[in-house]
Structure 1
Amino acid sequence: MRNKKILIIDDDPDIVEAMRMPLEANGYNVISASSGKDGLQRAKEEVPDLIILDVMMENDTAGFHVAYELKSEEPDSEYKDCRNIPILMITAISQKKGMSFSPDNDDTFLPVDGFIEKPVQPKDLLERAAEYLAVKE
């Protein structure tokens, strides 16, 4: 079985590295992008097996826009090869803005497969990655 490819889209290099280390130690091939725009480009070029996406990057809603683009149902979307890739959204928005999200309540509002709060614990990250990658198979 080939190594599963995970794209991390986050503007904080320390967060990216903190997630990269346990993922790579568990055999995942990790690529990253530091902005929503770069993340969209990497997703289109690499077509990863899982995307881990930060909410707040260039602005407070950059991650939302990336998720909408990647999951677009438009037939001519340049990201049509990415629409079935699971997205795990990481966020500190509840700490910074007092907002919270739940896949049970927000799946129609926001096209992501799950949410995980920062700071991300390696054990939680690995469990969620394995869960979403197993569903994709």
Structure 2
Amino acid sequence: MKKLLIVDDEPNIVMSLEYAFQKQNYNVFIARDGSEALKIMEQEIPDLVILDIMMPQVDGYETIARIKDNPAFAKAKIIFLSAKNKAADIEKGLSLGADLYFTKPFSVKKLITAVNDLIRI
């Protein structure tokens, strides 16, 4: 079973994504901010991380930097999912190593397709 880590501080987004991906037979882990995400990643190295940018304590930019600095997490794919929708924000997210960048509001169906394509289920 593929492992997916959802990192977002918005409960409605977390709940809807958790439900949608569990229906797709993913083992889903939830973190509310970057520091919680990094702790989970030490225990359960996910195949893919869906990562918000604007979160309390450790934001998405800092989180992706820490993920990319750790060789143990090297194979994890990363999708930014953020309300930050300016071209400069998207460019920054991709330049930090994200595989894809989705802006909120988003299509859950398109996100599921993108996740499946990235980790080739």
TM-score normalised by structure 2 residue count: 0.89
Number of equivalent positions: 121
1:89 paired residue number: 80
Q: Give ranges in structure 2 of 5+ residues lacking alignment.
A: none
Indicate whether 1:118 and 2:101 are aligned: no
Distance 2:4 2:62 in 1: 19
Greater Rg over alpha carbons, structure: 1
Within 2, Cα distance between the matches of 1:86 and 1:128? Answer: 11
How far off its partner does 1:121 sit?
1.3
Structure 1 Cα separation of the partners of residues 75 and 119 of structure 2: 11
Counterpart of 2:44?
A: 46
Corresponding residue number in structure 1 for 2:117:
131
Say which SS state the counterpart of residue 93 (structure 1) adopts. coil
> In the alignment, is the contact (CA less than 8 A) between 1:56 and 1:91 conserved in 2?
yes
> Which residue pairs with 1:17 in the alignment?
15
User: Is the contact between residue 93 and residue 99 of structure 1 (CA under 8 Å) also seen in structure 2?
Assistant: no
Would you say the 8 A contact 1:5–1:28 is kept in 2?
yes
Q: Which stretches of structure 1, 4 residues or more, deviate above 3 A after TM superposition? A: 97-100
Distance 2:11 2:88 in 1: 24
Kept in 1: contact 2:47–2:75 (CA 8 A) = no
Length-normalised TM-score, structure 1: 0.79
Q: Give the superposition deviation at 1:131.
A: 1.1
Partner of 2:26: 28
Post-superposition CA distance 1:52-111 (Å, at most 9, x none):
10011016x710100010011xxxxxx3211221001101012xx785414xx864x311
Q: Which residue, 75, 90, 107 being the options, matches 1:101?
A: 90
Taking the aligned partners of 2:99 and 2:51, their CA distance within structure 1 comes to 11
What secondary structure is seen at the aligned counterpart in 1 of 2:90?
coil
